[in-house]
Structures are given as C-alpha cells and as structure tokens.
Amino acid sequence: MDKGFLLSLYTIFSGWALILLALLLVKPVISPGSGELVEAVMYVLLGALSITLALLLWYESIRVAFLRVKASGPGGT
Amino acid sequence: MLEVALASAVAMLTSELMHRVMLPRYVRRGLLSEDVHKPGKPKVPEPLGPAVYLPFLMASLIHFLLTKDGSSIAVASSSGLAFLIGLLDDLSPLGPRIKPLLLILPALVLIATYQITPRPLLPILGRARLHYVYWIVLLALFTVFSNAVNMMDSLNGMMPLSVYMSTIPLMPVLAKNEGALASLLLLHSSLLPYFLRNRYPAKVFGGDSNSLFVGSALASISAISNTEAFFCIALIPFLVSGFSVITSVGGLRERRQITSRPVVLREGMIRANPDPMAPISLIAVIASDKWKREDEIVREAALLSLISGILSSLTFFLLTPR
C-alpha cells in the first residue's frame, strides 16, 4: 500500500467525517415538528457557513498532503 | 421480485444487442475517439450512451407495466433528459457553465413525474423536515451527481466499476423502497454489457450521454427513496474528484481550457503532474507517490468506492435514528 493510496483513503474517511460533522453542527438548529420560514433560513445560513468552512479546511488538508507526497515521489517526467 | 428480474434481463440483453449492432456502424461512420492514456492513442467508438440508456428506458417501462409502480418511469424520465443533454454535449460541446445549469432540469422532470417528499433521512438527525430548503438541495444534487460521475469517467472502466462498487452495498439501505431498488438493479443490468467492453483495454467509450445519464439516475434513485445523504457518502470518491478539480482550477472549466493536466503519461504509465500548480483529481491523488498502470489506478478507485459504499451502509444502520 503506497502513500498515494493511503492519501486517497484519508480523503474518503475525512470526507465522511466532514459530512457527519456538518450534520452535528446543524443539529441544534433543526427542532423537530417546526417548519417556520425563519428557522429554515437560519438552518440554511448556519448549514452553508459551517459546510463551507469545513470544506475549505478539508480541501486545504488534502492539498498540503498531496503536494508533500507528490514532491517526495520518484521525480517528474 | 420476479418482475424486477424479468426487466433486468431485458435491460441486459437489449444493451448487449444494441452494442453488437451499434459498434460496427460507429466504426464504419468514423465515430471514434482517441484513448489518450495508451501508447499510440488507439481509436475507440464513442458515444455508446444510447446503448445503455435505451435498454434502461425499455426495462423501466416493462417494470411499470408489470408492477404499476411509477417510480421507475420517473427515474427513466428524469435521467432521460440528462441523457439527451449528454448526447447534445457529445455532438457539439456545451460550455462549462451551461452544462451544470442544464443538468438542473432533470430534477424538475422528477418533481413533475413523482411525488417527492421533502423529508430526507439524514445520519445522526434522522428524518428531517426541509420544506423550503429541500428543493434547492435537490436541484444541486442532480447537477453535482451528474458532473461528478462525468468527471470519474476518465480511465478505462473506472466509472461503471466504481458505480457498481459504491452502490451494491447500498442495496440493503433501499430494501424498504422497492421502486428505488428496482431502478438501481435496472441501471446495473443495462450498464453491464457496456462495462465489459469499457474495462481495460477499452473497446468502447460511453461519452457524456452515458455518464450524465448514470449520474442523474443515481440522483433520482436517491431522491425517490429519501436516501440522498447515503448516496452522497457512497459517492465520496466521485465527489472528491469533481470538487478537487473544480477548486484547484478555480471554477468551472472545459477540459481543453485547463492548460496544466492533473497527470502525466509515460509509456502507458500514469503519475500525478509534478507541477505544484497542476489541478488535483482523484487519479492524481492515487498516483501521487509513484507511476501506476491505468488498470491499477482503476482497481484502487473501485476499492475506494467499495469502502465508501460500505461506510454509507454502516452509517445508515448504525448512526441513523429511525
């Protein structure tokens, strides 16, 4: 198992954790049984903000690890 | 279940027959594309999307006639529009911004042909009521799934094999929704003759008509069964690939507009482009450490898809209140 495959495994598991984390973050905003517009707007804003931030952090972690693995590999063309 | 087995057999046989009829005609008419990852760049018939979608449509009609369950017709109708958009793109490339917008339309077809309930089942949260938000998410889901499957269709057999690997573990998740499960089985059956010819070394290419149809069909199946989140988890390798490419090139771009390629080739071997500014794709991540053969990368991508599919199924059974 090489570093490239391990890195791709990391992207899968961290992507999964990201989805669960985003759902945990929006959980307090959704109260069962209510469907009010204000609540829905709050849900969208908080959900979008948390998901965007988490996505950016996640992508950056993959990019940094990817560049490091690529640089340590066996040369270019 | 007998009805599904019969419709699946029709899908598989019709697709096999259509491949046999269409392939010599494509060669005669010069409908060929270069396989750019192979030495000598051999030419391969493309697009074989009609040989996958039309059998799926026929099998969905048979399933509807036998069961009177309209869900398979709704899936076939919405993904049919994605197939037509893909065919249009195969004949005359659509712009990088127009295509994602057009791929919202199949969602509208699904809403028009099926009584969608805006109550998706979510991990941790359980059954959510998203009366306002759901429709926006549904539109996005169609364009994201279609484009993600399209971007995964870059190496021999990679897209169909990864679709099989990520969605087979989802079958227990769909067990309580017979219509959605039937549509997934019909999709698997109509894809099989294509996969056997598209695997390494490829003798056919599906084109956008095939990949956009498959992506849209998966979005439709997830929507009619309210299992959108579980399909998202199962398709993480597809989403990672699409998201990374779009983010690293700074937005939506047509393939020929991306000057630095994510990977470089040498005598049939593939490796991530050493240029630090090169876009990041799933293939580049897999081949970031060393030179790999095309079939080796496809196998690893399929393994990642299988892991995602199992992870999704486990999330459904262990982390989802019902």
Answer whether residue B245 shows pLDDT above 50: yes
pTM: 0.92
Of all residues in chain A, what percent carry a pLDDT higher than 70?
75
Whether residue B201 is preceded by a cis peptide bond, meaning omega within 30 degrees of 0, is yes
> What is the token pair recorded at B62?
């048979």
- List, in sequence order, every residue forming a beta bridge with B271; answer none if it has no partner: B264
- List, in sequence order, every residue forming a beta bridge with A74; answer none if it has no partner: none
Answer whether residue B125 shows pLDDT above 90: no
A34: three-class secondary structure by DSSP: coil
B315:A76 CB<8 A: no
Of B117-126, B131-140, B242-251, B253-262, the one with minimum mean pLDDT is: B253-262
pLDDT band at A23 (very low <50, low <70, confident <90, very high): confident
Answer whether residue A34 shows pLDDT above 60: no
Chain A residues in contact with B287 by the CB 8 A cut-off are 4
Most confident of A30-39, A54-63, B165-174, B256-265: B165-174
Of A30-39, B28-37, B166-175, B256-265, the one with minimum mean pLDDT is: A30-39
pLDDT value at position A24?
A: 80
Question: What is the spatial distance between Cα B97 and Cα B99, in angstroms, rounded to a whole number?
Answer: 6
Question: What is the spatial distance between Cα B80 and Cα B74, in angstroms, rounded to a whole number?
Answer: 10
Name the residue in chain A with its Cα closest to that of B303: A9
* Residue among B124, B240, B300 minimizing CB distance to A15: B240
pLDDT value at position B285?
A: 94
Chain B residues in contact with A4 by the CB 8 A cut-off are 272, 285-290, 292
Answer whether residue A41 shows pLDDT above 90: no
A27:B292 CB<8 A: no
Answer whether residue A53 shows pLDDT above 60: yes
B286:A12 CB<8 A: no
Chain A residues in contact with B248 by the CB 8 A cut-off are 63
A69:B124 CB<8 A: no
Of all residues in chain B, what percent carry a pLDDT higher than 70?
97
- Cα distance from A21 to chain B (closest Cα, Å)? 10
pLDDT value at position A29?
A: 62
Q: What is the three-state SS of chain B? A: CHHHHHHHHHHHHHHHHHHHHHHHHHHHHCCEEECCCCCCCCEEECCCCHHHHHHHHHHHHHHHHHHCCCHHHHHHHHHHHHHHHHHHHHHCCCCCCHHHHHCCHHHHHHHHHCCCCCCCEECCCEECCCCCCHHHHHHHHHHHHHHHHHHHCCCCCHHHHHHHHHHHHHCCCCCCCHHHHHHHHHHHHHHHHHHHHHCCCCCCCCCHHHHHHHHHHHHHHHHHCCCHHHHHHHCHHHHHHHHHHHHHCCCCCCHHHCCCCCEEEECCEEEECCCCCCCCCHHHHHCCCCCEEHHHHHHHHHHHHHHHHHHHHHHHHHCCCC
Q: What is the pLDDT of residues B127-137, one digit of tens each?
A: 888 777 789 88
Question: What is the spatial distance between Cα B159 and Cα B285, in angstroms, rounded to a whole number?
Answer: 17
Most confident of A26-40, B59-73, B264-278: B59-73
Mean pLDDT of all residues belonging to chain B: 92
Query: Which one has a higher pLDDT value, B120 or B322?
Result: B120
Chain B residues in contact with A47 by the CB 8 A cut-off are 133
Chain B residues in contact with A7 by the CB 8 A cut-off are 285, 288-289
B300:A8 CB<8 A: yes
B236:A15 CB<8 A: yes
Q: What is the pLDDT of residues B60-75, one digit of tens each?
A: 999 999 999 999 999 9
A8:B304 CB<8 A: yes
B280:A9 CB<8 A: no
Q: What is the ipTM of this complex?
A: 0.87
Interface residue B276 vs chain A (CB under 8 A): yes
A66:B285 CB<8 A: yes
Q: Report the residue count for chain A.
A: 77
Answer whether residue A15 shows pLDDT above 80: yes
- Cα distance from A14 to chain B (closest Cα, Å)? 10
